Amino acid sequence: MDVTAYATPAPNAPLAPFVFSQREVGAHDILIDIKFAGICHSDIHQASEDWGSAIFPMVPGHEIAGVVTQVGSAVTKFKVGDHAGVGCFVDTCRVCANCLAGLEQYCLGHMVLTYNGVEADMQTPTYGGYSTHIVIDEGYALTIPPNLPLDVAAPLLCAGITLYSPLRYWQAGPGTRVGIMGLGGLGHMGVKIAHAMGAEVTLISHSPGKEEDARRLGADNFILSSDTKAMKAARNSLDLVINTVSADIELDHYLALIKLQGTMCVVGLPEKPLSIGAFALTGQRRSLAGSNIGGIAENQEMLNFCAEHGFGSDIEVIAIQQVNEAWERVLKSDVRYRFVIDTESLNA
């Protein structure tokens, strides 16, 4: 079937209308009529080849929410009319130790990215959510609870799970003190989720204008990173810090906030290698770790958690014709806190 989309034809080129051929629905596949697609900063990184060579033309988008319009003959998980989501990958090797453990995001074989990837045949390119439809194996699609609106649900499939997974792994909850570095597309979800888990939440930001929003979203405390006195007063106070910053920053400055045997988990993806002083870790037996999205089961758990607590992402909905302007605004951090494309505009 032919699918209408927006694609970038070459590195750093503007996105423009594009039509591609999607595979027919197989026995285990579902067809999703995409309603909303979130804009992730990684879309821009990949289209700019910041992380290495890419596949063009590229249809970005791995924060996808829509409605099931067709199911294969062997499908049991979905029926026509269900709300469904697609995250950062659409298939994995299925046989490695990590896949068998439900940690498909760490697949040791071939992970099929939702876009800028190739299918299991190692030849067919994948195209993402800046489009009208997607066909996916039911095992790699997520059920979006009926009480979770599709527009605010879409960014959860990357921004939401990226924060939920480490918060869950390091057991954020009552009695724990969690710091979130940065209040952007990732950070605002970290504040919401950590607060809903019952942790005491501190937002750490370089922007004083973010304090009001941080507290509205659930932060108990706010630290301006340039405030030397405030940073000093908060030393050795946090159990867990989630670093969502994608810029080159002095990590030692923030590691000092973490108490004995606490952890900083990196989820932001700066272009340059991180640099730290060994004493920032050894002095209080601190750990520096990383985390990458979540597996299928954990993604579903995250969606259910957000629905149960009555929140999605804070979004600004745009038409696809505004996507190039939106990308420019993302680079300027001019969005609170996630752009979401209304893909109905592709039919205009």
- Both 115 and 252 in one domain: the answer is no
Per-residue confidence (pLDDT) for residue 46, from 0 to 100: 96
The residue among 290, 308, 336 that closes a domain is: 290
The distance between the two most distant Cα atoms of the chain, rounded to a whole number of Å, is: 64
Above 90 in pLDDT, residue 348? no
- Both 121 and 207 in one domain: the answer is no
pLDDT tens per residue, range 171-216: 999 999 999 999 999 999 999 999 999 999 999 999 999 999 999 9
Calculate the average pLDDT of the chain.
97
CATH of the domain at 245: 3.40.50.720
Cα–Cα distances in angstroms (integers) from residue 266 to residues 185, 212, 251, 255, in the given order:
15, 25, 10, 12
Residue from 167, 168, 169, 165 nearest 179 by CA: 167
Above 90 in pLDDT, residue 170? yes
**Interacting residues of 51 by C-beta distance below 8 A, sequence separation 6+:** 45, 269
- Both 195 and 113 in one domain: the answer is no
- Both 164 and 15 in one domain: the answer is no
| Structural domain total, the chain | 2
The residue among 261, 290, 319 that closes a domain is: 290
- Both 274 and 173 in one domain: the answer is yes
Residue from 8, 5, 23, 152 nearest 85 by CA: 152
- Both 147 and 16 in one domain: the answer is yes
Tokens 């489009």, located at residue: 131
Under the banding of pLDDT at 50, 70 and 90, the label for residue 247 is confident
H or E element, residue 207:
none
pLDDT tens per residue, range 265-279: 999 998 888 889 999
Distance CA 112, CA 209 (A): 39
The residue among 251, 271, 290 that closes a domain is: 290
Per-residue confidence (pLDDT) for residue 270, from 0 to 100: 86
Segments forming the whole domain that contains residue 314: 2-158+294-347
- Both 220 and 84 in one domain: the answer is no
Per-residue confidence (pLDDT) for residue 78, from 0 to 100: 98
pTM exceeds 0.85, yes or no: yes
- Both 149 and 270 in one domain: the answer is no
- Dihedral angle at the C-alpha atoms of 258, 260, 261, 264, nearest 10 degrees? 10
Q: What is the mean pLDDT of residues 85-96?
A: 98
